[in-house]
Structure 1
Amino acid sequence: MSEDNEVRRTLNEQAARQLANATKTRAQWSGITPRWLVSFLPWTPVEAGIYRLNRVKEAAAAGASDVTCSPRNDADLPESYVPYEEHPREYSLNAVTSVLDVQTRVSDLYSHPIDQIQEQLRLLIEKVKEKQEHELINNSEYGLLNNIAPQQRVQTRTGAPTPDDLDELIARVWKEPAFFIAHPRAIAAFGRECTKRGVPPATINLFGNPFITWRGLPIVPSDKLTIGEDGKTNILLLRTGEKKQGVVGLFQPGVPGEVAPSLSVRFMGINRKAIASYLISLYCSAAVLTEDAIAVLDGVEVDHYFDYDKKFA
């Protein structure tokens, strides 16, 4: 028998694969991000989905601050009080929701080795959590970008984010600032500007991950700070926590069907077409307790290149 015939009669690789089990991965989705803002924010539980933010009337309080030091024995003590806002703002938790529909025949027959319903729920929960972070930044009512006082807005000096720009943000949020938030490309642009000036930013490790810093404050990446068609974005600086009168996230524990704080998955039943439905709900909001707890750098150009040799020639 010739050598060629021996080769033809050998079990080929393609045929052998029909009897082999492939090792399968779970569905991979590139849209999943670390969602650092959710991790860095302190979260305050609320009752009945409502958070009332009581504030002092700043202008009136300044006028009523009749406080004296070491009054004379025969002097009358000053009388004063601190006035409150009569109509405080109330935050209601918003729901980020999605409905999963699964054909029961599919889930019955094709759930080994990976459970189809659990896998679909896992991916939809990830999408809901991504939407949560987007809303925390961009929501028209409670989003951070839409709750910044005019005096807390800073415009870039040259377009690209520079150390001077971030120093100006620190000057606006000077009482115990916690961290910056920026798009990854804005962070890269800031890194380039620092390198040009010979002041590369230091790096620290938080939650087991490296973050670049400025003045000791971590710069947290989030792609939910969008880049507009003009190539511009924003950089935020926050002070956080109720004790520091900063920014807090809001959630309600103990919601029905809770699988994580303020996140619930509820079975909605099976219809006449054998479609099983599951409701995924995530309730959240955010509050800026005082105006000086947050500042924003506007007009940040992520692809701006400045000719320093020409500028300083």
Structure 2
Amino acid sequence: MAPDAPRPQALSDDAARTLANATKSAPQMSTITPRWLVHLLSWVPVEAGIYRVTRVNHPETVEVECDNYDESPLPVTFVDYARDPREYRLKAVSTILDVHTRVADLYSSPHNQTAHQLRLTIEAIKEHQEGELINSPDYGLIANTATSQRIKTLAGPPTPDDLDNLIAKVWKEPGFFLTHPEGIAAFGRECTRRGVPPPTVSLFGSQFLTWRGLPIIPSDKVPLVGGRTKFLLIRTGESRQGVIGLFQPGLAGEQGPGLAVKFMGIDRSAIASYLISLYCSLVILTEDAVAVLDDAEVGRIHDYAPNYQ
């Protein structure tokens, strides 16, 4: 070292870091959501991927009478069933994951590359599943709500009156409201403006706004188009003649209800492939199990318009 050169005071941070091991997180994916709808639905296993809904024809024609003191004959009646019941078939949400064996062999410490690739792909499939449950034109909640169960907002933003009107449509043991997070924010602002701030309730360790004791559940899969969104009110459970989810049990390579992962082999380019499939559907057992409020303004320009085919 030249006599006039400045002497270093200590080892620099940059140099020291060449000997240090960084603690690395597992891969984080911002599109993962809590998927509350999937947790709140009642799930029913099916055989051979088919569920048939048997509905009663003209229930108002079933005749009954109280005791007849003049001993005249009581009415004779029967309950008729629909002759062409709708059948729901499970639909697959699936993809093929490719992982190069070199990557899995060389770069799996401290985190297993294959395991995390599978985990993140499964998370993406489950996100798509929730979107299908809401938006599928075949079995989704919005498309399959009866016309008689749809209403429009009385004002621009969603109001307490609007949610009361939904309750009037689903008055038999309603379970929860479902809307976009921006819809919840708009409803909260409107309640505050009216001087009736909604109370909260704790579910799954999280806080939710409520109205008339019913939690308002957020899902970013509910459409948000042109600054407008929808509110749904849902009754769940087979015993309540509500909304149920369907899944196929006992799948080969089962990783969860209706979810299977199957190893497809390694090709000549050393690519390992995995087929990931999730089989599900949704059924509205009776028309009054769901009601939808359309065109609730949230005052936001950003749109989310799902395209499920």
Normalised by the length of structure 1, the TM-score is: 0.93
- Could you tell me which of 226, 230, 234 is aligned with 2:230? 234
Greater CA deviation, 13-22 or 181-190?
13-22
Aligned position for 1:74: 71
Greater CA deviation, 88-97 or 65-74?
65-74
Q: C-alpha deviations, 1:54-89, integer Å up to 9, x for none?
A: 0001xx332x32211112343112111111000101
Does residue 276 (structure 1) correspond to residue 272 (structure 2)? The answer is: yes
Aligned-partner Cα distance in 2 for 1:4–1:183: 65
Q: Give the drift of 1:261.
A: 1.3
Aligned position for 1:6: 7
Q: Give the drift of 1:226.
A: 1.7
SS at match of 2:115: helix
Aligned position for 1:310: none
Matches for 1:76-115 after TM superposition, within 5 Å: 76-115=73-112
Aligned-partner Cα distance in 2 for 1:71–1:2: 122
Aligned-partner Cα distance in 2 for 1:144–1:172: 15
Aligned partner of 1:158: which letter?
A
Q: Give the drift of 1:233.
A: 1.0
Aligned partner of 1:6: which letter?
R
Does residue 223 (structure 1) correspond to residue 224 (structure 2)? The answer is: no
Aligned partner of 2:69: which letter?
R
Q: Give the drift of 1:2.
A: 8.1
Q: Give the drift of 1:15.
A: 1.7
Aligned partner of 1:200: which letter?
P
Greater CA deviation, 41-50 or 64-73?
64-73
Aligned position for 1:267: 263
Aligned partner of 1:152: which letter?
Q
Aligned position for 1:61: 59
Aligned position for 1:43: 43
SS at match of 1:125: helix
Q: Give the drift of 1:4.
A: 6.5
SS at match of 1:268: strand
Aligned-partner Cα distance in 1 for 2:222–2:264: 34
Aligned partner of 2:199: which letter?
A
Matches for 1:161-172 after TM superposition, within 5 Å: 161-172=158-169
SS at match of 2:79: coil
Q: C-alpha deviations, 1:241-273, integer Å up to 9, x for none?
A: 011100011111111100111111110000111
Aligned-partner Cα distance in 2 for 1:286–1:84: 22
Aligned partner of 1:235: which letter?
F
Same amino acid, percent of matched pairs: 60
Aligned-partner Cα distance in 2 for 1:4–1:233: 69
Aligned position for 2:304: none
Aligned partner of 1:140: which letter?
P
Aligned CA distance change for structure 1 residues 110 and 61 (closer, same or farther; 3 Å): same
Aligned-partner Cα distance in 2 for 1:149–1:159: 23
Aligned CA distance change for structure 1 residues 3 and 165 (closer, same or farther; 3 Å): farther
Does residue 211 (structure 1) correspond to residue 208 (structure 2)? The answer is: yes
Q: Which runs of 5+ in 1 are unaligned?
A: 305-313
SS at match of 2:78: coil
Q: Give the drift of 1:98.
A: 1.2
Aligned-partner Cα distance in 1 for 2:54–2:3: 93
Aligned-partner Cα distance in 1 for 2:184–2:202: 16
Aligned position for 2:120: 123
Aligned CA distance change for structure 1 residues 75 and 280 (closer, same or farther; 3 Å): same
Aligned CA distance change for structure 1 residues 50 and 21 (closer, same or farther; 3 Å): same
- Could you tell me which of 250, 255, 264 is aligned with 1:254? 250
Does residue 202 (structure 1) correspond to residue 222 (structure 2)? The answer is: no
CA RMSD across the alignment: 1.5
Aligned-partner Cα distance in 2 for 1:103–1:162: 53
Give the number of the structure whose residues are more often helix, by fraction: 1
Normalised by the length of structure 2, the TM-score is: 0.94
Q: C-alpha deviations, 1:154-186, integer Å up to 9, x for none?
A: 100112000000000000000110000010000
Does residue 26 (structure 1) correspond to residue 26 (structure 2)? The answer is: yes
Aligned-partner Cα distance in 2 for 1:3–1:123: 57
SS at match of 1:245: coil
